[in-house]
Amino acid sequence: MPVSVVTGGAGFLGSHLCDKLLGEGHQVICLDNLITGNVANIEHLAGNPAFKFIKHDVTEYIYLPGKVDFIYHFASPASPIDYLELPIQTLKVGALGTHKALGLAHAKGAVFLLASTSETYGDPLVHPQPETYWGNVNPVGPRGVYDEAKRFAEAMTMAYRRYHKVNTKIVRIFNTYGPRMRIRDGRAVPAFLSQALRNEPITVFGDGSQTRSFCYVSDLLAGIYKLALSNESGPINIGNPAEMTVKQLAEYIIKLTGSKSTLQYDPLPADDPKVRQPDITLARTKLGWEPKVAFEEGIRLTLDYFKKAVLG
């Protein structure tokens, strides 16, 4: 039975990844300090003999006895609210946390997969964004703490690959949504769903013409698992290239929920990307992966979760 370590395993993506790996026959060790993670996301795994949760800050030395075959480094605040409130922790987990997790991979001879982000492209001047694009990032802006933490994490991962010959992989994750997202997440899907269910004004930044591309969580994890088992090292974009404006998203959610909400336009935050769409040519050709869940289906599944979370 392969042994997989998931850092940030009690978070939105991390907890779904734990489920995915257990379903694929892995033994899973979940590490999380619960700064933004939540034990509620993994409580259904309590008592599963193949699952173990350890509360641990991965910026500190990681000791695990026994064999480890895969390390999925997903630990990090990942929403604008989180990394603006936790800027130093965000930088530390991208730098020190990545270093510690890579050290474990080196010691165990494990495959290491870094969860990077489309934010490495910043406010892009190339559209859609291919992996060859180096990005347009403001390193001293408020979003820089997340963007640069992930860019440093990628550089550290490549250094371990080149110098220590660790089998590393980098996935650049584009906007992903699904059950277990936090209500107060700050990203568009949970914010709009929560506001619509409460019949509150939906907060649209700028004029709402900025675009995003939304990938359902099961599609994302299918791509990540294919990358982990492949001979590819990446970076590889995993996301859904179906693009829509933020205003279109808000209007769709109002219609879907039957909400009385109206749109409220607020100033655009500093360095907010104007466009975001993955070029998934590499994922298609190298991994044989592309998204399968239509937005209409995925958002309904997500709405079911938010109805329980928001309305009880």
pLDDT digits (tens, 9 = 90+) for 224-248: 999 999 999 999 999 999 999 999 9
pLDDT digits (tens, 9 = 90+) for 220-229: 999 999 999 9
pLDDT at 80 over 90: no
Per-residue pLDDT at 184: 84
Return d(Cα 240, Cα 277) in angstroms, integer: 8
Is 264:250 a contact under the CB 8 Å cutoff?
Answer: no
Return d(Cα 46, Cα 44) in angstroms, integer: 6
Per-residue pLDDT at 310: 86
Return d(Cα 259, Cα 173) in angstroms, integer: 30
pLDDT digits (tens, 9 = 90+) for 16-72: 999 999 999 999 999 999 999 999 999 999 999 999 999 999 999 999 999 999 999
The sheet with strand 70-73 has its strands ordered as 51-55, 27-32, 3-7, 70-73, 111-117, 168-173, 236-238
pLDDT at 312 over 80: no
216: left (phi over 0), alpha (psi -120 to 50) or beta: beta
Give me the catalytic one of 121, 146, 177, 225. 146
Per-residue pLDDT at 186: 81
Return d(Cα 45, Cα 22) in angstroms, integer: 10
- Provide the CA 79 distance to its chain's centre, in angstroms: 9
pLDDT at 167 over 90: yes
Q: Is residue 146 annotated as a catalytic residue, yes or no?
A: yes
Domain ranges of the chain: 3-176+217-239+278-291
Return d(Cα 150, Cα 172) in angstroms, integer: 10
Is 85:34 a contact under the CB 8 Å cutoff?
Answer: no
Per-residue pLDDT at 273: 81
Return d(Cα 182, Cα 136) in angstroms, integer: 28
Return d(Cα 22, Cα 48) in angstroms, integer: 9
pLDDT digits (tens, 9 = 90+) for 271-285: 778 889 999 999 999
Does domain 3-176+217-239+278-291 sit in CATH 3.40.50.720? yes
